[in-house]
Amino acid sequence: MTSAIATAGAFQDWMRRKTWVDHALLAIRLCVAGFLISGCVLGLSANRYSAENWMSFAVFGLIIGSIYALIALGYTMVYGILRMINFAHADVMMVGSYAGMFVATTLQAKGMLQEGPLLFLPLIMAAGMAAGALVSLGIERVAYRPFLHVRSLAPLISAIGLTFVIEYSARGLFGTRNRAYPGFGWMEGSVQIGALAIPIQQIIAFAAAVIMLAALMLVVYRTRLGKAMRAVSEDRDAAALSGVNVARVIVLTFALGGAMAGASGVLYGLVFKQIQVFMGFSLGIKGFAAAILGGIGNLPGALLGGIVLGLSETLGPALLFEGFGVPAPYQLRDVIGYGMLVMILIFRPQGLLGERLASKRA
């Protein structure tokens, strides 16, 4: 009864304050909701996919979602500390992916990768993480540290400039052709669960992503460094007065975010096999969309956003576009990802879990 009265009061308050913009947004909400509901009903009633197909879509959605989450964590960690987006973050992932590929190719040439792929995978990931952390530290030194005490858009512009420097430097060094990750011996097989065949590399990539995410959460919530990072995120000046070395925390935050991006680049190469120097653009937007979707600055939100985005991209085409008879619906997979970014910015810019801000800034 109390909730019904409160709802009625909120509705009357909305009716009293409404403008034509509110009506337009409400109409867009209703159109989007109608499109989603009718698409899902038509897609399910078409009955074109078996239960195994849906399971396969969901499993792949979790795998690609975990990679998006690793990228999104880098965005959200830097934003949580500096209140700025690191637009060069996606190219850090590209560099990590190439570093992992070179190490994997060297191990394959020596015949070691075929004999013990699972044994050498941590070494390949460590190479990608180290390269990602080094490049990220360079970005922090060049694009952010000189403007640490300046309130301007200069860091953002510098970071955008660095994306071109990194991409075209990689283009000059590695060429524009696609480069392939080598085979990983017995990991090239698949696991059969009923009628569902799951590639072993995808299972290992998902497990590695979960371990990386858990380790990062452990660092952020159970260590002195994580405590300092959260203190700087809440109030940089108060943290400095409490004895926290803010500059050191910022450097380590960039290093951690870069390491996560490097790991995600290696896992991407493990799952999709092919990489190229401009891969960071689309994946960076997906990672940024995941961070916005979950709530920028919110670490659990970045995880949730990545998983939701991954599942939406793999399940969405079959659910929404098949029902409307769209030919080759999976070629429109990116439409769902980018559409979700636009919708969340319009209707819930604070994200699913909300942006985590200090009370005095909220």
pLDDT of residue 1: 58
pLDDT of residue 125: 92
Task: Supply the Cα-derived Rg of the chain in whole angstroms.
Answer: 22
pLDDT of residue 356: 56
Number of neighbouring beta carbons within 10 Å of residue 196: 16
User: For residues 194 and 123, is the Cβ–Cβ distance under 8 A?
Assistant: no
pLDDT of residue 103: 94
pLDDT tens, position by position, 245-286: 888 999 999 999 899 899 989 999 988 889 999 988 888 888
pLDDT of residue 355: 62
SS (H, E, C) the chain: CHHHHHHHHHHHHHHHHCCHHHHHHHHHHHHHHHHHHHHHHHHHHHCCCCHHHHHHHHHHHHHHHHHHHHHHHHHHHHHHHHCCCCCCHHHHHHHHHHHHHHHHHHHHHCCHHHHCHHHHHHHHHHHHHHHHHHHHHHHHHHHHHHHCCCCCCHHHHHHHHHHHHHHHHHHHHHCCCCEECCCCHHHHCEEEECCEEEEHHHHHHHHHHHHHHHHHHHHHHHCHHHHHHHHHHHCHHHHHHCCCCHHHHHHHHHHHHHHHHHHHHHHHHHHHCEECCCHHHHHHHHHHHHHHHHCCCCHHHHHHHHHHHHHHHHHHHHHHHCCCCCCCHHHHHHHHHHHHHHHHHHHCCCCCCCCCCCCCCC
pLDDT of residue 252: 92
Positions of the chain with pLDDT under 50: 357-362
The label of the residue with tokens 């004999």 reads: 115
Please state the pTM of the whole predicted model. Answer: 0.84
pLDDT of residue 166: 92
